[in-house]
Amino acid sequence: MSGRLNGKVALITGAASGIGKRSAERFVAEGAKVLLTDIQDVKGEEAAAALGGSAAYRHADVTSEADIAGAVDEAVRRFGKLDILFSNAGIPGNRTGIEETDIAAWDHSMAVLLRSVVIGAKHATRVMRPRASGSIINLASAAGLLPGATPHDYSTAKGAVIHFTKGLAMELGESGIRANAICPGYTLTPMLVGGLGLGMQAVEAMGPRVDAAFAPVNALPKAGRVDDIASAAVYLASDEAGFVTGQALAVDGGVAVGAHWSGHRGRMRGVMEKLSGDPA
């Protein structure tokens, strides 16, 4: 199917890489005009250039309100309006024990992962509300549903993104604007594989070994791909989702749904072994 976003204008943050880059490609393929933004300017320019006249790139650091406001204004100036904001930019956070938490680093994570989403919504609404139409999509995470697996700053920010998105939906619905979050699970991007000490090329060369490695973690025995998340973004951006707002759509292979069935049985066997035998 194509043309699902015909005539729509989108702004995507963090669009030079990973999920944001693939979403820009998919949005354009579905008929949208897209302003890509990022702080990786060379990669961002290249990504936009590859999409031809339906896309442009602009530097925007999501920790800066002026940068985000400027990007919203440029989308309107260049393409005439703004229908879709995809607040996607992110960083992995800092894994430390609570006693070692560096509060400046915590504040930076919150600025990139949470405050940016609030600023984006503020400025997108500024131009969407007068037109009584729009779709705001915030990239949260399965980590926002299930804490523990990722750093505290990351899961806290993502949980707050989900909560904020729900409140936003309740404010903006009567103005014709929808707000939803996407909660990806383990998805093969530079962020995830970098955290595993690998590069994308190395991971791609591994073939089926990659899915086999993630099989014990997820309900579905595989890792996520950028297209899995971009597909959800296309859906939420499109009129097909016209009755969908305030949702946290998990696209996570089931990782945040519950305990992995066979893994849990193995752990319970360990419990039974420890409890068996002489009660003394």
Ligand X SMILES: NC(=O)c1ccc[n+]([C@@H]2O[C@H](COP(=O)([O-])OP(=O)(O)OC[C@H]3O[C@@H](n4cnc5c(N)ncnc54)[C@H](O)[C@@H]3O)[C@@H](O)[C@H]2O)c1
By CB under 6 A, name the binding residues for ligand X.
13-14, 16-20, 38-40, 61-63, 88-91, 112, 139, 141, 184, 186-187, 189-192
CB atoms within 10 A of CB 101: 14
How far is residue 255's CA from residue 269's CA, in Å, rounded to a whole number?
21
For the chain, the straight-line distance linking the first and the last C-alpha, in angstroms and rounded, comes to 67
Nearer Cβ to ligand X (107/239):
107
User: Closest approach of Cβ 17 to ligand X, in Å?
Assistant: 3
User: Closest approach of Cβ 196 to ligand X, in Å?
Assistant: 10
User: Closest approach of Cβ 147 to ligand X, in Å?
Assistant: 13
10 Å CB burial of residue 91 (0-12, 13-18, 19+) is middle
Nearer Cβ to ligand X (90/151):
90
SS3 61: coil
For residue 17, the number of C-alpha atoms closer than 13 Å in the C-beta half-sphere is 19
Rg (CA), the chain: 20
Nearer Cβ to ligand X (79/214):
214
User: Closest approach of Cβ 44 to ligand X, in Å?
Assistant: 8
Q: Which residues contact 163 (CB under 8 A, 6 or more apart)?
A: none
Does the active-site annotation cover 235?
no
How far is residue 249's CA from residue 254's CA, in Å, rounded to a whole number?
11
255 to each of 93, 100, 218, 258, 260, how far by Cα in Å? 20, 28, 5, 7, 8
Catalytic residue positions? 154
